[in-house]
Structure 1
């Protein structure tokens, strides 16, 4: 059994890959940073491919075609914090390409080649409500939720789940240039989020929300 995880070099993607490794899946991780990928792959004893999915997501699609995984985790993504009109347009465009276009294309290829198994699309609790200074990020994650729910209206063997993690102890805040003040005591452990996500995905759960606080937030 094979599992392909995008953004599997660090953070939540790495911990999902590790959880699947513990369940005896052959792991393939895809991300942009070759150095981080190599270190993560050594830790996981995984195969790796350095691809910038905001530019070359079709290359990742070719890997899915060749490897024909049992599990595909579309985790790669990032956020940008700040007033919309004050942000760098090129960065916003890359975020839209990565969070939406790459995820959509890889799901498309996965559904074409996978005969059985699961796809997990990583959204965010940011999809549940309007987010000040995270407008584009929240919109991309709302897309992931509605896209996945809509696909599940079409009957098929492949079950597609979507994960709505709350603030988690990863580099997301640092990379998004977003302050963490006020979030610290509510942050989730990425290992626990990964285990919960994989458990629910394998049981065929469509909507996966770790943590009682965030279940209530997303009601």
Structure 2
């Protein structure tokens, strides 16, 4: 169904994983999609595969975000759907934390996401949908996750305040909080296959539904929150983690 026909949609970090699947879902529902990413080769290849537009932008750099907004305004006008998806993993025990790891995670996951919303607000159409990619870890308390979990918890707070601030323009702001999802993000941490298999087994044991989710599961939820049927939903966090956080 072409629920989003002729809508302009921006997906940050759309070259892989959840962002890639969401860009595909939005396109299949009729939206005109623009994906972003830090690496030109990766984002251009993904855009070719998906049949969408692309712009190189690093969400961890505010000047990149501002240039992105200017380029989208020039090429596409205003935006109807903004999925602030780009993010990085990283963490350590609090006693062993380094400023480098802290800045790497916070600059992308929180500061970058915050300023993406901030700078896009002037070019959002009234009635637009904004969705943050948060995480079920925002409300969990695992060791060694303080930096990553804090970055996502902060996003959830901003999401709710933004929902209040933007309500007069009927702009809805929500967050989706996945648990374990099959994406390349763990592979990018440099683990070998045996370690990856061990991590997956460990995760599955802690998920009541006993399996890892798919990026397409999250994509369909983001698309639903962007449809007219969700016009009365704002300021909400949607867990999609197989019951892991219960």
TM-score where L is the length of structure 1: 0.89
State the aligned residue count.
216
More strand by share: 2
Corresponding residue number in structure 1 for 2:11: 5
Following TM superposition, the consecutive aligned residue runs of length 4 or more in structure 1 with deviations greater than 6 angstroms are none
Structure 2 residue 103 is matched with structure 1 residue 78: no
Which shows bigger deviation, 174-183 or 154-163?
A: 174-183
The separation in 2 between residues aligned to 1:4 and 1:63, in whole angstroms, is 12
How large is the RMSD of aligned CA atoms in angstroms? 2.1
Aligned counterpart for 1:141 among listed residues 152, 164, 181:
152
- The C-alpha deviation readout for 1:29-82, integer Å capped at 9, x for no partner, is 100122211111011111111222212332223234333211111000011143
The separation in 2 between residues aligned to 1:65 and 1:101, in whole angstroms, is 22
**CA deviation after TM superposition for structure 1 residue 168, in Å:** 0.3
The unaligned stretches of length 5 or more in structure 1 are none
What is the SS of the residue equivalent to 1:112?
A: helix
Q: Following superposition of structure 1 onto structure 2, how do residues 85-164 of structure 1 map, counting pairs within 5 Å? A: 85-116=95-126, 117-154=128-165, 155-156=167-168, 157-164=170-177
The separation in 1 between residues aligned to 2:180 and 2:72, in whole angstroms, is 29
Q: Give yes or no for contact 2:136–2:241 (8 Å, CA) kept in 1.
A: no
Identify if the C-alpha distance between structure 1 residues 53 and 73 changes in structure 2 by more than 3 Å, giving closer, same or farther: same
TM-score where L is the length of structure 2: 0.80
The separation in 1 between residues aligned to 2:241 and 2:60, in whole angstroms, is 30
What is the SS of the residue equivalent to 1:78?
A: coil
Identify if the C-alpha distance between structure 1 residues 106 and 87 changes in structure 2 by more than 3 Å, giving closer, same or farther: same
